[in-house]
């Protein structure tokens, strides 16, 4: 049993390292934002009587594919690094930031759908992020 308790975390650490190059603050932020967006989207849909299982499943699939894209970006970084280019996770970082901004925009929209007033400072920050996202 002791070996099993040590093997399970080691297995998942190995998977995380392969898929994402390890765990870091950017990944933690993205995971947190994805979860918050999913929950706020569900609440907003429920409040408007639009909560549907097939829409929820589509939302989950989209969230999974965010992490597929992060994995692809990590693999691109590895390819660039192995072929002699300076990458240092630049592509993965850009992908994580892109999807994090997307999630922040969606969370803000969900808060509005729920009827929550959005502080002006948050509106200003979201507008800056939206403009940066549009330029990329």
Domain membership of residue 112 (yes or no) is: yes
**pLDDT (tens digit per residue) in 36-71:** 999 999 999 998 888 888 888 998 999 999 999 999
- What whole-number distance in Å separates Cα of residue 51 and Cα of residue 30? 24
Asked whether the beta carbons of 77 and 91 are under 8 A apart, the reply is yes
72 has pLDDT over 70? yes
Domain membership of residue 35 (yes or no) is: yes
Domain membership of residue 50 (yes or no) is: yes
Domain membership of residue 12 (yes or no) is: no
Its domain, for residue 119, covers 24-135
1 has pLDDT over 80? no
More confident residue, 11 or 98: 98
- Reported confidence tier of residue 133, pLDDT bands at 50, 70, 90: low
Domain membership of residue 2 (yes or no) is: no
Domain membership of residue 119 (yes or no) is: yes
- Give the count of domains, the chain: 1
- Reported confidence tier of residue 136, pLDDT bands at 50, 70, 90: low
């Amino acid at each position: 049993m002791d070996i099993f308790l040590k093997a399970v975390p080691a297995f998942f650490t190995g998977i995380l390292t392969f898929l994402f190059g390890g765990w870091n603050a950017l990944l933690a932020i993205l995971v947190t934002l994805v979860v918050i967006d999913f929950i706020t989207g569900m609440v907003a849909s429920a409040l408007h009587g639009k909560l549907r299982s097939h829409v929820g499943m589509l939302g989950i699939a989209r969230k999974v594919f965010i992490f597929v894209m992060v994995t692809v970006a990590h693999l691109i970084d590895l390819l660039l690094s192995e072929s002699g280019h300076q990458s240092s996770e630049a592509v993965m970082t850009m992908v994580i930031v892109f999807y994090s901004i997307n999630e922040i925009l969606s969370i803000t929209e969900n808060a509005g759908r729920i009827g929550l007033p959005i502080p002006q400072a948050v509106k200003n920050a979201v507008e800056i992020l939206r403009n940066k996202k549009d330029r990329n």
